[in-house]
Copies of this chain bind each other. A is one copy, B any other.
Amino acid sequence: MIKFAVLGYGVVGSGVVELFYKNKKSIEKHAGCEMDIKYIVDIRDFPDSPYKDKFTKDFSDVLNDPEISVVAECMGGTEPAFTFVKSALDSGKSVATSNKELVAAKGDILLESARKQNCNFFFEASVGGAIPIIRPLHRCLAANDINAVAGILNGTTNFILTKMYTEGMAFSEALELAQNLGYAEKDPTADVEGHDACRKICIISSLVFGKHVYPENVYTKGISEIELCDVASADVLGHSVKLVASVKRIGDGRILPVVMPMLVPHENIMSGVSDVFNAVLVYGDGIDKTMFYGRGAGKLPTASAVLGDVIEASKHNVTVFSQTWTSSEDRSFIAPVDELSAKWYFRIPADSACDVEDSYCDENGRSFITKENLTFAQAKKTAEELNASAFMPVLGE
């Protein structure tokens, strides 16, 4: 019998409890042992909950209980999550978390704690919600040299861009709809400005390339400056505008992680990823490319990923060493965004003297995509010279 604890009874934590009891029988079959939730830790009171006898406000109940071998952390934020998770790992309890902020900021430290104690620190739910991506990356695709990953990793912004594209809504109008539907927070900064997607690409980059990539080292630009006319012109030019979080190994062994609105060609399967759905494209020397698609957030989708990790941690007492990375004091392995090489979309004044082929012109200006790759630095200079009102890279293969 494996007994585990759930930290935090918000959207995700309550989803974990709900999904666990709904599918307990088949979950135990997958785990190969009986399982139960012994504690739910939350500072709030839930007197009407059917699980009210499991609630505690004191995390030390979990920490000091030798019966607890696995902890599901669903609190969010770095503190007290970090203190709780680290102390759990340090005492040999495996942890499954949905907390991308925690993993992006402190993953290296927590993985080191897990290694020392021969337990597991799992975080499938921290990237792409329901989408299995962390485990496939280090297990199923373990024979590959993975050289790039590109993803739509934030559902809120993808919903907004979809509404701009399909219904001609302006950004502000689509954001308001997202807020009314509960897809965006009252303060939508973390989603809209790309910080959420940034944390997720940091986690993927760290896992794939083996060194911790911190959010502050990743150039991050959100979608708040995207104008409807750019979404419309991109479509005419055969592309969808998406907030893409990507990382690529560049020639000299350095990597270039970035979060930016990009043009995704219609023939790329990722251009069809709409509404709140997320997707992650992985490029490797064996697989060529493979994509993982699904709901990137939400109560039960995220709970599904947390519980998948809890089951894995319960199944056997083997420490998974393939899902790991090290700390990196030296950050010179991260190339600056200036080196980002791509074809670029520009929108310039309609009456510009600039001579471009295959451009699309309307009252908002002249839009075109370069035939050749330019670096970000070159594109920025070109944008200034042409007095461009918008410029974005095109996602390449």
Contact with B along A298-328 (1 / 0, CB 8 A): 1011011101101110011010011000000
Q: What copy number does this chain have within its complex?
A: 2
**Residues from 92 to 127 in A contacting B, C-beta threshold 8 Å:** 124
Question: What's the minimum C-beta distance from A266 to chain B, rounded to whole angstroms?
Answer: 9
Min CB distance A145 to B, Å, is 5
From A131, A139, A307, residue with most partner B Cβ within 10 Å: A139
Top 8 A-B pairs, shortest CB-CB distance: A286-B304, A290-B294, A132-B140, A143-B307, A30-B142, A130-B287, A291-B293, A272-B272
With A286-B301, A301-B287 already in contact, the answer to whether A23 and B308 are too (CB < 8 A) is no
Residues of B within 8 A of A284 (CB): 304
Which residue of chain B has the shortest Cβ distance to A129 in the bound complex? B287
Range for the number of chain A residues in contact with chain B = 35 or more
- Does A295 sit at the interface, judged by CB under 8 A? yes
A316 to B31, CA, bound (A): 17
Cβ A145 vs Cβ B26 within 8 A: yes
A273 surroundings in chain B (CB, below 8 A): 269
When the two chains form the complex, which single residue of B135, B142, B286, B298 contacts A303, counting CB atoms closer than 8 Å?
A: B286
Contact of A290 among B132, B144, B271 (CB under 8 A): B132
Closest to A317 in B: B318
Q: State whether A140 and B135 are in contact (beta carbons under 8 Å apart), knowing that A288-B301, A304-B287 are contacts in the complex.
A: yes
